[in-house]
Amino acid sequence: MESVFYRALIVQDETDGPEDGYGAVFPDLPGCTTSGDTIEETYEHAFDALALHIQGMIEEGVEVPSPSAFNAPLPKWLASVPGQVVQPVLVRVELPGRAMRISITMDKGLLARLDTVAAKRGETRSGYIAQAVRERMDRDYRRPLAHGLEAISS
């Protein structure tokens, strides 16, 4: 899998205060949005929104656009949206890459349990292992907040 970073804009209506919550939009991906009660929560939700949006595009056979530069001008569709940008952030997503065959060693009993669980979920052994690795890595190396984001919301 290839890691790429898409720019997201954490936004808020001009008449809203911090208690009214925030939204996030992705200039490169019209329709990919999320929201949260705080800037931090909105930023965290942006990771899931982006991953689900990209997954949906891939499943539908829609070409996933390359991310634009962080300081690229806003697209016309976004320039006319009301509200103000509170914080631009980068959001990482894993794009599917080319599968590679590997050889691993595993306890025989664990392998039997793996095959049973994967089969019950309608998955292959490789698919189940790959998803488990993704989830573990995401949990262990959970996306840190952008530098300085904490200070903005205080």
What local confidence, expressed as pLDDT, does residue 36 receive? 95
The more confidently predicted of residues 54 and 135 is 54
Q: Which of 64, 62, 63, 59 is nearest to 6 (CA)?
A: 64
Is residue 153's pLDDT more than 60?
Answer: no
pTM over 0.75: no
What local confidence, expressed as pLDDT, does residue 135 receive? 84
| 145 pLDDT tier (thresholds 50, 70, 90) | very low
pLDDT digits (tens, 9 = 90+) for 59-94: 888 999 999 999 999 898 887 777 888 999 999 998
The more confidently predicted of residues 63 and 18 is 63
Instruction: Evaluate whether 110 touches 132 at the Cβ level (below 8 Å).
Output: no
The more confidently predicted of residues 134 and 50 is 50
pLDDT digits (tens, 9 = 90+) for 29-68: 999 999 999 999 999 999 999 999 999 998 888 999 999 9
Q: Which residues contact 31 (CB under 8 A, 6 or more apart)?
A: 53
Measured distance CA(54)–CA(8) in Å, rounded: 14
Mention the CATH class of domain 2-153: alpha beta
| 24 pLDDT tier (thresholds 50, 70, 90) | very high
Instruction: Evaluate whether 4 touches 92 at the Cβ level (below 8 Å).
Output: yes
